[in-house]
Structure 1
Amino acid sequence: MIRLILVVLVIIAACAVTVFVTLNPGSASFEFMGVEGRMPFALAAAGLLVLTFILLVIWRLVLGVWTAPDNLRKFNLRRRKEKGFDALERALIAAAAGEGENAVRQAARADALLDRPALSRLLAARAAEAAGNLPGAEAHYEAMLEDPKTRIVARRGLAQIAHERGEHATTAAHAEDAFNQSKSVRWAFDALFDAQVAQADWLAALATLSEGEKRKQIAPDPARRRKSVLLTAAAMEREDSDPDKARSLAEQAASAAPSFAPAAALAARLLAANRKHSKAESVLKSAWSAAPHPALARALAELRKSDTKAKRAERLKALAAIRAEHRESRLLLAEAALEGGETGEARAALDPLLEFGTPSARLCALAARLARLEDDDKAARRWMTRAAHAPGEADWSDIDGEGRAFAFSPDDWKRMVYAFGDEGRLLHPRYERFEIAAEAVPETALLEAPKPVRVRPAPGKKGETVFHDTPRPPDDPGVGDDDDDDDDDIESIAARGHR
């Protein structure tokens, strides 16, 4: 449209000039090398225009011949770049599709056609990775380290290769270099932190986490929970070798995330060992307020060895009152009531829990203890039988054979960094591996009913064979009696119900 308008305007201008020349006739004369000439002005103007056009054509021809070599070179270079970019496109598509061999061929072709060493090396490295040639990719990445523009991407590639090989120290070295060079690369923080956790280097991972939080490469809440796990793991390692350092780390862990029960339980134990019982109790209460957990109640019960039964029950009831509506608080009230022989309070706490859903092994064991206190042996046996088949609880205190809570292995701590740190889940790895199933089964002896004894009629008498319960020895108090050993067995089953 614009061109059409311009053409119309040119035609109008030409017509105007023609009309003007026609209405104003004149003549033009010239003298050249003794030759004189005279002609109308319109003819002279037309001749001048034709001569100018001829001169321009001649100039273009001369210029074309003069610049032909350069134009030919530029044409060939442009064709070469087009072929190179075409090969680059094919190589990227092949690498993304997982066609390793084709990607390598196209990458080599692009490298030969394009004068871009950084791009060619990166493409060659990606193609080698797609082909599964990790040594070749590693060689390309190492060559890219020489160029400042490609150093960070080379570190990333080398870190990924080292991670795939399980070389955590090498991964950490490459990620740390990139982490120190650039404050904006998120992958360097993730790779460095993950490698340090994989090496169980808790304090180094903690330093990386703190720097990543400053750079806003991780949200505050996950950072706080991760910090608590790392501090707790570091404190666990130093509990025997450096109790003072372990206590300081555990206190920091409990302060960072009060809902992380292992941190509070460890801090309370270490503080109690240093005769700081009041501070230990405060730590446990803060943790209970954030997230009630059976291990916290156990830690509080064992905090002061000099406490009487009544005093211990009073402390546990006070702990339960902090979160009275929570299920764990109700269970704690029931346990405290059973400990003090207060059957009415225990019944009031347990009945609502037993009526809601399927009772766990822990609930069944507590109900059995209550039935024993109420002298209902039949109900006690029934609840103990149900405890053998009832499911365990996910929120368990993990009391091992030596009475330690949260005795995690290094691999369990590594997993907990992400399970609790990123998701806020406190599930023991053994629970997720279903190791609880075998340990939650009560003792077989507690579940067996009295064995009947066949009694034959006296000789000469008619009648059916009669079965009687096996008589108990004189020193056997029986299941219905209040025997300390039986109470210990039921308590052991209740402890396994925690798990």
Structure 2
Amino acid sequence: MIRLLSYAVVVLGLALGFSWLADRPGQMTILWQSQRIEMSLMVAAALVVALVGLLLFVWWLVRLVWTSPKAASRYFRARKRDRGYQALSTGLIAAGAGNAPLALKMAERTRSLISADQEPLIHLLEAQASLIKGDHDGARQKFEAMTEDPETRELGLRGLFMEAKRAGADEAAEHYATQAVERAPYLPWASQAVLEYRTRAGDYDRALDILAKQRASNSTGGRDTSREKAVLLTARAGARLDSDPKAAREDALQALKLSPALVPAAVIAAKAWFREDNLRRGSAVLEQVWKLEPHPEIAEIYVRARSGDSALDRLKRAERLESLKPDNPVGLAAVARAALDARLFEKAREKAEAALTRDPREGILLLLADIEEAETGDQARVRHYLSAALRAPRDPAWIVDGLVSERWQPLSPVSGELGAFVWKAPYTQGDATVAHLLEDLPPPPPPVQSQSHVEDMLELDAPPPMTATTSPQPGSGLTETAERPERDATVVPFFGHPPDDPGVRDSSKAAEPEKKRKPLF
């Protein structure tokens, strides 16, 4: 464009010049070698312009002849380079498609047409071709050669890192990732790998520093860095809890500011407060997180905050926690366990059955079995609850990448992702209900009344039990009957029997109608 404008300006200048001379005619006389030459000024100007043009043409012709060998060499070299780049492009496409023979062929052709010093991508093509062929040693040699070139150093380090990961050499992979971070902190793959390795090694200070550099360089890739920082702070707090409870508490509280519903951080902060005998602040932290995320571990720490508390004191604390989140199955189960420890079986059973109604789970049914074992010792009823527990959905646990863990960890052992652990059930069985859990199971026998219990009823002027037949309620689906002991009958303790053995029926009462057994729920 600039050259075209230059030509236009020159032509316009010549036209203006000749126009100016045409308006001012004159004569020019030249005496040279006794010769007199006369011409008009316009002709003289035209001759001068023609002479200059002739000189320029001659100069161009001489220059063309002089530089023709170099121009011819440049032409053939450019043609060869174009063919080499075409082969390189074809080879990279073939390598990406997994066509090893074509990739190797194009790699050889590219090296014969282009020098590797001029085009570093030749090393990449050869390395990819070696990988497709299965020559991992040759590929590593190519990647190592790429690390010596500043233009391909990062690419070579990534290739060596991937090869080390493939071979299971974690130390070598960490070494290459660390080198890449030192030279280019903005590389997401390198910083993320070093972050994973430092977290796995327990070097949380270095991990937090790398995470801060990622956020500063905006190379997080859209990840929730606040959540990751909270996870790292929680992990560091857990590591410091025994040696420096104050520092652990500060880290845990800072993690709660970033992620208010992070249960492990709340537990660590509360433990740190409790070790300083500060029950009020520790309980306040647990209550704050409990309102957002009711968790069994929070309930356990909250109820047993003071080691010297009695069972009744622990029950009061459990009721206080349950009142913060009414009708929550986790809180109801916590009250039931505390009531069981306090030997308040009626309250324990009531809370456990309420929790089972709201969230049928294996743990609640096992709790009911413990209550039955402690209260009556009726093995038939205990086995009844245990059988239902086998069919109930499992209790929530810490899940990550399909694995179930007994405790929370900051890093996934499978994928290496930070904060990947979630609290949920290992698997679901649909919308389970109490009726579904207890279907196809024989209903438990009625609780056995002891002789002292009958005497207490007589002292309280309770209405005497009578032998009667109760018709089944409509829609109940139950047809079994049960007998009530008479006032003067002697109650024989029941020591249990196999669930499939109804025992020996008394022949004297064989003809008596049986009363329908009431459903458990």
TM-score under structure 2 normalisation? Answer: 0.63
Q: How far does the alpha carbon of each residue in 1:86-132 deviate from its partner, in whole angstroms, 9 at most, with x for none? A: 23322332333233443344344444414425443344334434544
Q: How many equivalent residue pairs?
A: 423
Q: Which residue of 1 is the match for residue 59 of structure 2?
A: 59
**Distance in 2 of aligned mates of 1:19 and 1:281:** 101
Query: Please, which runs of 5 or more residues in structure 1 have no aligned partner?
Result: 236-242, 398-404, 435-441, 451-467, 480-499
State the secondary structure of the residue aligned to 1:245: coil
Q: Is the 8 A contact 2:185 2:191 kept in 1?
A: no
**Distance in 1 of aligned mates of 2:155 and 2:361:** 53
**Distance in 2 of aligned mates of 1:270 and 1:190:** 31
Q: Which residue of 2 is the match for residue 174 of structure 1?
A: 176
Q: Which residue of 2 is the match for residue 85 of structure 1?
A: 85
Q: How far does the alpha carbon of each residue in 1:130-157 deviate from its partner, in whole angstroms, 9 at most, with x for none? A: 5443322211221233334433332222
1:210 aligns with 2:208: yes
One-letter code aligned to 1:212: I
Q: Please point out which of 144, 147, 157 is paired with 1:145.
A: 147
Q: Is the 8 A contact 2:111 2:122 kept in 1?
A: yes
One-letter code aligned to 1:209: A
**Distance in 2 of aligned mates of 1:150 and 1:19:** 64
Q: Is the 8 A contact 1:172 1:196 kept in 2?
A: no
Q: Which residue of 2 is the match for residue 341 of structure 1?
A: 344
Write out aligned runs for 1:50-449 (5 A): 50-112=50-112, 113-114=114-115, 115-116=117-118, 118-196=120-198, 200-201=200-201, 203-204=202-203, 206-215=204-213, 216=215, 217=220, 219-229=225-235, 232=238, 234=239, 244-245=242-243, 254-255=252-253, 256=255, 259-261=261-263, 278=279, 282=283, 285=287, 288-289=290-291, 291-302=293-304, 304=306, 306-324=308-326, 326-337=328-339, 339=342, 341=344, 343=346, 347=350, 350-351=353-354, 353-356=355-358, 359-365=360-366, 385-395=387-397, 407=406, 414-415=411-412, 421-423=418-420, 425-427=422-424, 431=426
One-letter code aligned to 2:361: S
Comparing 250-259 and 132-141, the one that deviates more: 250-259
Q: 1:396 to 1:304 in 2, by over 3 A?
A: farther
One-letter code aligned to 1:292: P
One-letter code aligned to 2:187: V
Q: Is the 8 A contact 1:294 1:396 kept in 2?
A: no
1:168 CA displacement: 0.7
1:374 CA displacement: 10
State the secondary structure of the residue aligned to 2:412: helix
1:447 CA displacement: 7.5
One-letter code aligned to 2:332: R
1:32 CA displacement: 3.7
Q: Is the 8 A contact 1:385 1:447 kept in 2?
A: no
1:172 CA displacement: 0.8
Q: 1:124 to 1:78 in 2, by over 3 A?
A: same
1:350 CA displacement: 4.4
**Distance in 1 of aligned mates of 2:389 and 2:349:** 18
Q: Is the 8 A contact 1:343 1:370 kept in 2?
A: no
Write out aligned runs for 1:479-498 (5 A): none
Q: 1:299 to 1:56 in 2, by over 3 A?
A: closer
1:311 CA displacement: 1.6
Query: Please, which runs of 5 or more residues in structure 2 have no aligned partner?
Result: 430-436, 446-481, 484-490, 498-521
Q: Is the 8 A contact 2:85 2:110 kept in 1?
A: yes
Q: 1:266 to 1:62 in 2, by over 3 A?
A: closer
One-letter code aligned to 1:316: A
**Distance in 1 of aligned mates of 2:235 and 2:329:** 25
What fraction of aligned residue pairs are identical, expressed as a percent? 25
State the secondary structure of the residue aligned to 1:393: coil
Q: Is the 8 A contact 2:198 2:207 kept in 1?
A: no
Q: 1:50 to 1:368 in 2, by over 3 A?
A: same
Q: Is the 8 A contact 1:209 1:227 kept in 2?
A: no
One-letter code aligned to 1:392: R
Q: 1:448 to 1:280 in 2, by over 3 A?
A: farther
**Distance in 1 of aligned mates of 2:384 and 2:327:** 29
Q: 1:260 to 1:48 in 2, by over 3 A?
A: closer
1:396 CA displacement: 7.9
More helix by share: 1
Q: 1:183 to 1:388 in 2, by over 3 A?
A: closer
**Distance in 2 of aligned mates of 1:42 and 1:390:** 113
Q: Is the 8 A contact 1:295 1:396 kept in 2?
A: no
State the secondary structure of the residue aligned to 1:116: coil
**Distance in 2 of aligned mates of 1:27 and 1:35:** 16
1:310 CA displacement: 1.2
Q: Is the 8 A contact 1:25 1:40 kept in 2?
A: yes
Write out aligned runs for 1:14-25 (5 A): 14=15, 17=18, 21=22
Q: Is the 8 A contact 1:333 1:346 kept in 2?
A: no
1:312 CA displacement: 1.8
1:208 CA displacement: 3.3
**Distance in 1 of aligned mates of 2:328 and 2:428:** 27
State the secondary structure of the residue aligned to 2:344: coil
Q: Is the 8 A contact 1:25 1:41 kept in 2?
A: yes
One-letter code aligned to 1:210: L
Q: How far does the alpha carbon of each residue in 1:345-393 deviate from its partner, in whole angstroms, 9 at most, with x for none? A: 8647844x5555x722334455677889999x99988666533322122
One-letter code aligned to 1:362: G
Q: 1:48 to 1:350 in 2, by over 3 A?
A: same
Q: How far does the alpha carbon of each residue in 1:267-291 deviate from its partner, in whole angstroms, 9 at most, with x for none? A: 877998x795848964655654553
Q: Is the 8 A contact 1:189 1:208 kept in 2?
A: no
1:328 CA displacement: 1.7
One-letter code aligned to 2:62: V
State the secondary structure of the residue aligned to 2:37: strand
Q: 1:176 to 1:251 in 2, by over 3 A?
A: same
